[in-house]
A and B are shown apart, each in its own frame.
Chain A
Amino acid sequence: MAHEAEHTSHTALIWKVFIFLSIITLVEVVLGIYKPASLHLSSFLGTSPLNWIFLILTLVKAYGITWYFMHMIDEKKWFRRSIVWTSIFLLCYLTALLLIEGSYIDGIMSPYTKWDY
């Protein structure tokens, strides 16, 4: 906790974080528009490399916003953990359950979908 530092301005850091987040967004948008075939149509660990890039950049952006805009970095370590670890644990749990369930149903149902008329 830098209480003394609170009275000094962090403007430079804020603009740096903004530029960082903007560049990430720009990269996402450019990749999203052009969708390079080598990244989009190939497969890596269950999905396309492009999707992995999007997911990782999203998490990086979330980190930037939480740590620097929401000042998570200034909070006490265990307060931070009580928020971040709890959320991440529950989210991984729910994601795993529901996505596995979703693809299971897909596997069972899709052979029965009619496509020839």
Chain B
Amino acid sequence: MEATAAAAKELTWGGGKAKPFSASYGKMMIWFFIMSDALTFSGFIIAYGAMRFKFLETWPIADEVFTHIPFVHGNFPMLYVAFMTFVLIFSSVTMVLAVDAGHQMKKTKVAWYMFATIIGGAIFVGSQAWEWKTFINGSYGAVQMYDGKIIQFVDASGHQVTLDSFVVTHHKDREQHLANNGLWYAEEASLPIFTVAEVSEAFKRHPELSVRTEKINFDMKSKEILSRDASLKYLAEGKAVITGADLKVNEYGKNLFANFFFFITGFHGFHVFSGIVFNIIIFFNVILGNYERRGSYEMVEKVGLYWHFVDLVWVFVFTFFYLV
């Protein structure tokens, strides 16, 4: 940055040559911004930790929640999120290569690396959207009990089964209440595909099925599966059929899990999105030659710091939502 010092002398800190910590104003401020943003994210993740510790016996097991990959059916925990992690790390690499090319004043290289970074970011946000969609749609369906607990259905081998695979639906005597067929000022959410009565009737006809509760068996680190008798008693307390997850109910278990997932990955995804916007702005500035004329690519470096920070946050989200 020595080259810029003479040109931007009046702009840096306004105190002549003295620069605190030899850092330019912008760079120091982006660092302090990153620190405060890091504390915000930490607040969220630590709050997640507090709630998880509070419900340690019943917290959903991430491996059983995020098991999908696009275009392929089956049970693949970790793979998709690992792909997302690699995309983000790789876009961090292209970003740091852009910064490096900027130090050598190689305009074309900077532009290409910035472009690659933007593409990487877009792939990540797209993947995140797909992950949300899958989580919201759900995988197996479950029944919510009157006291809020979630029960799921497993076959003799202990694998979860979808409601579609064993429940038969009857003639419906209940229609969805919309503004045009009931009270004009009120309507309800779409009705669940099955009623609890249908689920429980089908369950009785399938002796190979059992109910799995939210409770974790800590010796095996897996959810407890009930005997047939106990299963029927649980089912008798069933209130609603749940498919997927939203802010109110979650077929995978504790609703707080879904709330934190949406909130933290949403907040992170928003950071990635704004990072992409910043990157695009800087990318055009590079192409237009603004930094070439200014004699310094420090803006690339500053937007790069933000981008790496977003990657850094993802490292922690990855650990606390998917690994531990």
- A residues contacting B by CB (< 8 A) are 1, 3, 6-11, 14-15, 18, 21-22, 25, 28-29, 32-33, 35, 40-41, 47-48, 51, 54-55, 58, 61-62, 65-66, 68-71, 75-76, 78-79, 83, 86-87, 90-91, 94-95, 98-99, 101-103, 105-106, 109-110, 113-117
CB-CB < 8 A to B142: which residues of A? none
**Contact call A95/B46, Cβ cutoff below 8 A:** yes
Given contacts A3-B2, A33-B78, A106-B55, whether A115 and B213 have CB atoms under 8 Å apart is: yes
**Contact call B312/A9, Cβ cutoff below 8 A:** no
**Contact call B100/A78, Cβ cutoff below 8 A:** no
Judged by a CB distance under 8 angstroms, whether B65 is at the interface is no
**Contact call A106/B319, Cβ cutoff below 8 A:** no
Given contacts A18-B90, A61-B315, A106-B55, whether A32 and B322 have CB atoms under 8 Å apart is: yes
**Contact call A9/B100, Cβ cutoff below 8 A:** yes
Number of contacts between A and B (CB, 8 Å)? 155
Q: Which of B68-86 contact A (CB under 8 A)?
A: 77-79, 82, 85-86
Contact bitstring B15-55, A, C-beta under 8 A = 1, else 0? 00000111100001001101100110011001101111111
CB-CB < 8 A to A28: which residues of B? 318-319, 323
**Contact call A102/B220, Cβ cutoff below 8 A:** no
Expressed in whole angstroms, the minimum distance between the Cβ of A60 and any Cβ of chain B is 10
**Contact call A65/B54, Cβ cutoff below 8 A:** no
CB-CB < 8 A to B77: which residues of A? 32-33
Main secondary structure of the interface of B (DSSP, over half): helix
Judged by a CB distance under 8 angstroms, whether B188 is at the interface is no
CB-CB < 8 A to A6: which residues of B? 1, 103
Which interface residue of B22, B49, B315 has the most chain A CB atoms within 10 A? B315
Given contacts A32-B78, A102-B49, whether A41 and B220 have CB atoms under 8 Å apart is: yes
**Contact call B100/A10, Cβ cutoff below 8 A:** yes
Query: Which of B92, B104, B304 is within 8 Å of A7, CB to CB?
Result: B104
Judged by a CB distance under 8 angstroms, whether B311 is at the interface is yes
Query: Which of B22, B39, B237, B301 is within 8 Å of A90, CB to CB?
Result: B39
- B residues contacting A by CB (< 8 A) are 1-2, 20-23, 28, 31-32, 34-35, 38-39, 42-43, 46-47, 49-58, 63, 77-79, 82, 85-86, 89-90, 92-93, 95-97, 99-100, 103-104, 147, 213, 215, 219-221, 230, 233-234, 236-237, 301, 304-305, 308-309, 311-312, 315-316, 318-319, 322-324
CB-CB < 8 A to B95: which residues of A? 69
- Please measure, in the bound complex, the distance between the C-alpha atom of A53 and the C-alpha atom of B97, giving whole angstroms: 30
Given contacts A28-B323, A65-B312, A86-B35, whether A3 and B54 have CB atoms under 8 Å apart is: no
CB-CB < 8 A to B55: which residues of A? 106
**Contact call A14/B323, Cβ cutoff below 8 A:** no
Expressed in whole angstroms, the minimum distance between the Cβ of B214 and any Cβ of chain A is 10
CB-CB < 8 A to A61: which residues of B? 315
- Please measure, in the bound complex, the distance between the C-alpha atom of A35 and the C-alpha atom of B63, giving whole angstroms: 11
**Contact call A98/B233, Cβ cutoff below 8 A:** no
- Please measure, in the bound complex, the distance between the C-alpha atom of A56 and the C-alpha atom of B280, giving whole angstroms: 35
**Contact call B308/A65, Cβ cutoff below 8 A:** yes
Query: Which of A18, A58, A98 is within 8 Å of B49, CB to CB?
Result: A98
**Contact call A79/B21, Cβ cutoff below 8 A:** yes
Which of chain A's residues has its CB closest to B62's CB? A32
CB-CB < 8 A to B99: which residues of A? 71
